[in-house]
Amino acid sequence: MRKGLIVQKYGGSSVANVERIQIVAKRVVAYRKKGYDLVVVVSALGDTTDELIELADKINAHPPEREMDMLLSTGEQISVALLAMAIDKLKFKAISFTGSQVGIITDTRHTRARIVKIGADKIRQALKAGKIVIVAGFQGMTPDQDITTLGRGGSDLTAVALAKELSADECEIYTDVEGIYTTDPRIEPKAKKLEEITYDEMLEMASLGAQVMQARSIEVAKKFDVPIHVRSSFSEKPGTMIIKEAKKMEDVVISGVTLNKNEIKITVCDVPDHPGAAAGIFKELSGGGVNVDMIVQNVSHTRKTDISFTVPRADVSKAKRITRRASSKIGAGEVIVDEDVARISVVGVGMKSHPGVAAKMFDTLAKEKINIEMISTSDISISCIIKKKPAESAVRSLHEKFGLGK
């Protein structure tokens, strides 16, 4: 008797070599034996994708994106074939499909395509025939049958989208960590694995520096209410459930503390305080492909004001150049770039109904003699820009003050 349908996704590190593929095969078969139907989404083996990119780069530093997708999609195709062989070796029936074959139709934006629809008939037929279905992650095809890839975190997206399309009972994302933690265990050894977290919290965590899942696939999971279970492929322990509303929500104010050192701060001084001035800066930055994250502008008491914002560290020189040009264009003053910054955030849906979280955060930082340079808040998070050096000890202090280690 069928117990239900589970979609499992295994990342590149889970299928990095022959032995790991065999471990994944055994795990898949164990679920099959319990009576579950299984759709397994697989990424490319270990560093395959990077190796292919390197090979392409030797031939053409700016390869046509269509051909890049043609090239990169082979990585997952190799994985699915090998996993199907490993499952066959264990005497279970499996069948592998490329993204094109299962009908994952995307738009035509090569290397960063978006899924338009999924025609999962082939999967349904194979499941009906009692087979374990293995699908290449990260890829699809345009209506014209050109192969596309989905960009960073694409395999997660494949898994979530298939779970939605097939109304799966659960979508398991296997990775090399055991779940989502209250903070980075490398910074705070007392960090605890969360049993559950809401989509919104996870979205804040993802965009704030937790690297387990890309924001894009969580957004899709939230939109279609697909329950996600993030867990380790090297362990039998349950991981973290990402769900709509956490059951234990009442007691929990803060779910986690995150740290992001990959942004820098830019301040434009003496921006004329009239409509369109700020827009002038951010339009130029966006046109230049620079992703602006936090933006802070204070109430102005004179006719001029200062605007501060953060951009990815990788874009620092481009952002500097564009901002200086824009600043002089709108008649603003000096542009100050500060690379010695870190962003520290507390995240939790509980803060909506618990006042005093911000005060507690600022107080904790103050006691550590840490200066707060920028503050930004959302419904479920509070972020502060501070100096880099005390950032890690600040994480530990906040982790303790909000009782996350318990």
- The site for a second copy (CB under 8 A) is made up of 18, 21-22, 52, 55-56, 58-60, 63-64, 66-68, 70-71, 73-74, 77-78, 80-82, 84-86, 88-89, 95-96, 98, 100-101, 122, 145-147
Minimum separation from the CB atom of position 83 to a second copy (A): 9
What Rg, from alpha-carbon coordinates, does the chain have?
23
Looking at residue 285, the DSSP 8-state letter turns out to be H
Minimum separation from the CB atom of position 105 to a second copy (A): 14
Sorted by sequence, the CB contacts under 8 Å of residue 323 that are 6+ apart come out as 266, 268, 281, 284, 285, 335
Minimum separation from the CB atom of position 337 to a second copy (A): 36
Alpha-carbon distance values, 147 to 67, 104, 108, 139, 220 (Å): 9, 10, 9, 7, 22
Looking at residue 169, the DSSP 8-state letter turns out to be S
Minimum separation from the CB atom of position 154 to a second copy (A): 18
CA proximity to 228, closest of 243, 238, 217, 207: 243
Nearer to a second copy, 17 or 291 (CB): 17
Minimum separation from the CB atom of position 153 to a second copy (A): 22
Nearer to a second copy, 80 or 335 (CB): 80
Nearer to a second copy, 55 or 279 (CB): 55
Nearer to a second copy, 43 or 364 (CB): 43
Nearer to a second copy, 86 or 206 (CB): 86
Backbone φ, ψ for residue 254 (5° rounding): -120, 135
Nearer to a second copy, 149 or 198 (CB): 149
Nearer to a second copy, 82 or 322 (CB): 82
Sorted by sequence, the CB contacts under 8 Å of residue 366 that are 6+ apart come out as none
Alpha-carbon distance values, 48 to 14, 45, 60, 77, 369 (Å): 13, 6, 18, 11, 46
Rounded Cα gap, residues 368 and 175, in angstroms: 35
Minimum separation from the CB atom of position 12 to a second copy (A): 16
Minimum separation from the CB atom of position 25 to a second copy (A): 8
Nearer to a second copy, 8 or 100 (CB): 100
Minimum separation from the CB atom of position 24 to a second copy (A): 11
Q: Give the containing element (helix H, strand E) for 66.
A: helix 65-89
Rounded Cα gap, residues 253 and 247, in angstroms: 13
